[in-house]
Amino acid sequence: DQQVKQNSPSLSVQEGRISILNCDYTNSMFDYFLWYKKYPAEGPTFLISISSIKDKNEDGRFTVFLNKSAKHLSLHIVPSQPGDSAVYFCAASADYGQNFVFGPGTRLSVLP
Amino acid sequence: ETGVTQSPTHLIKTRGQQVTLRCSSQSGHNTVSWYQQALGQGPQFIFQYYREEENGRGNFPPRFSGLQFPNYSSELNVNALELDDSALYLCASSRTGTRGSPLHFGNGTRLTVT
């Protein structure tokens, strides 16, 4: 039973355009969410977080939106750059940072 | 600021053997978590250590065990290795006591069990 789902295994976007990565969760107790990107042969790199008391958080080109009623969050990357090509994971925690449940990831390809 | 470092980077073991993986936390962090990432999947929580004690455990059998040392470094031990234990093992550090502290990962240890 997957508690965190990323239903798009892959996504291709043109350089300069917006990339939107989606994540759905089933556990209403989740209160803290993270996004990571991962390059081959490296560990996941933290991008941005959001707590359940907010519905939006921005950091540079990255914005995360949280819709608690729909149990859905999304990561927007604007503008997309070729260096953003990686696998993106969303992760959720029900206790503000103990056990994180990760989604299966979405592979983003940004085409020049 | 020193990041999370893991050793070794790669390891090949035979079924039934035991393995120890090591992790040094990022400076300023007091909590270490271990995750297993199988091919094509997201990381899966094994356990977390805080103040040298296990502070939460995922759905992994007791043959997965760990330690945290006073300098916040950590070890993951796996006994009686099985073929399905082949995976990338990720260590992450964070700061318990700071609400909403994200995990910071090392580059992982790739374990192959033959």
Kindly determine whether residue A102 and residue B42, on different chains, have CB atoms separated by under 8 Å: yes
Q: Of the candidates B86, B88, B92, which has an alpha carbon nearest to the alpha carbon of residue B106?
A: B92
Q: Which residue of A has its CA nearest to B100?
A: A96
Beginning with the edge strand found earlier in the chain, give each strand of the sheet holding B5-7 in spatial order.
B5-7, B19-24, B74-78, B64-68
Q: Are A21 and A88 in contact (CB under 8 A)?
A: yes
In our burial notation (b when 16+ CB lie closer than 10 A, e otherwise), range A52-69 reads: eeeeebeeeebbbbbeee
Q: Helix-strand-coil percent breakdown of chain A, rounded to 5? A: 5, 55, 45
The nearest CA of chain B is from the CA of A15 a distance in Å of 25
Distance CA A46, CA B18 (A): 31
Distance CA A33, CA A38 (A): 17
pLDDT at B98 over 90: no
Contacts of B38 in chain A (CB under 8 A): none
CB contact A98 to B (< 8 Å): yes
Chain B positions with Cβ closer than 8 Å to A: 4, 6, 33, 35, 40-45, 48, 55-56, 58, 90, 92, 94, 96, 99-108
Q: How confident is the model at residue A64 (pLDDT cuts 50, 70, 90)?
A: very high
pLDDT in tens, B41-71: 999 999 999 989 998 899 999 999 999 999 8
Distance CA A82, CA A77 (A): 12
pLDDT at A15: 97
